[in-house]
Chains A and B, each alone.
Chain A
Amino acid sequence: MTHATASADMMHPPVPAEPGSGVYSNKLGMWIFLASDVMFFTALIGSYIILRFGMSEPWAAPGAILNVPLTGINTFLLICSSVSMVKAYAAIVDGKKYFLRPIPGKLLQDGGLKFWMLVTILCGAAFVGVQVFEYIKLVQHGLTPAGFREGSHYAELALADPVKYGAATAGLFGSTFFTMTGFHGFHVTCGVVSMLYLYFTKVLPEKYSPADYRGIETIGLYWHFVDLVWIILFTIVYLI
Chain B
Amino acid sequence: MTEHVRPNYILIWAYLFVLTVIEVAAAFLSHIPKHWLIIILVVLAVVKALLVAMYFMHLKFERWRLRLIFLIPLPLAAILVLATITEKIW
A residues sitting closer than 8 Å to B (CB atoms) are 1-12, 20-23, 28, 31-32, 34-36, 38-39, 42-43, 45-46, 49-50, 53-54, 62-63, 68, 72, 75-76, 79-80, 82-83, 85-87, 90, 220-221, 224-225, 227-228, 231-232, 234-236, 239-240
The answer to whether B2 touches A9, judged by C-beta atoms less than 8 angstroms apart, is yes
Q: Which residue of B lies closest to A8 (CB)?
A: B3
Measured in the bound complex, the distance between the Cα atoms of B15 and A82 in whole Å is 13
Given contacts A38-B70, A80-B13, contact A72 B57 (CB under 8 A): no
The answer to whether B45 touches A236, judged by C-beta atoms less than 8 angstroms apart, is yes
The answer to whether B9 touches A231, judged by C-beta atoms less than 8 angstroms apart, is no
The answer to whether B53 touches A49, judged by C-beta atoms less than 8 angstroms apart, is no
Which chain B positions have C-beta within 8 A of A90? 6, 9
Contact of A239 among B6, B27, B61 (CB under 8 A): B27
Given contacts A53-B85, A82-B52, contact A38 B57 (CB under 8 A): no
Which chain B positions have C-beta within 8 A of A62? 27-28
Measured in the bound complex, the distance between the Cα atoms of B13 and A72 in whole Å is 15
Given contacts A32-B69, A232-B45, contact A6 B3 (CB under 8 A): yes
The answer to whether B69 touches A4, judged by C-beta atoms less than 8 angstroms apart, is no
Interface size for B (C-beta < 8 A) is 50
B residues sitting closer than 8 Å to A (CB atoms) are 1-13, 16-17, 20, 23-24, 27-28, 37-38, 41-42, 44-45, 48-49, 52-53, 55-58, 61-63, 65-66, 69-70, 72-74, 76-77, 80-81, 84-85
Jot down 20 A-B pairs with beta carbons below 8 A, ordered by A. A1-B8, A5-B5, A5-B6, A9-B1, A10-B4, A31-B69, A39-B73, A46-B84, A62-B28, A75-B20, A76-B20, A79-B13, A82-B16, A83-B12, A231-B45, A234-B20, A236-B45, A239-B27, A239-B41, A240-B41
Q: Please indicate which of the listed interface residues B5, B20, B52, B58 has the most CB atoms of chain A within 10 Å of its own CB.
A: B52
Measured in the bound complex, the distance between the Cα atoms of B42 and A43 in whole Å is 18
Contact of B56 among A23, A36, A50, A86 (CB under 8 A): A86
Chain B binding site: helix, strand, loop or mixed by DSSP?
helix
Measured in the bound complex, the distance between the Cα atoms of B62 and A221 in whole Å is 13
Could you tell me the distance in whole angstroms from the C-beta of B56 to the nearest C-beta in chain A? 4
Which chain B positions have C-beta within 8 A of A224? 52-53, 56-57
Which chain B positions have C-beta within 8 A of A9? 1-3
Which chain B positions have C-beta within 8 A of A86? 9, 55-56
Could you tell me the distance in whole angstroms from the C-beta of B31 to the nearest C-beta in chain A? 14
Contact of B74 among A4, A36, A38, A221 (CB under 8 A): A38
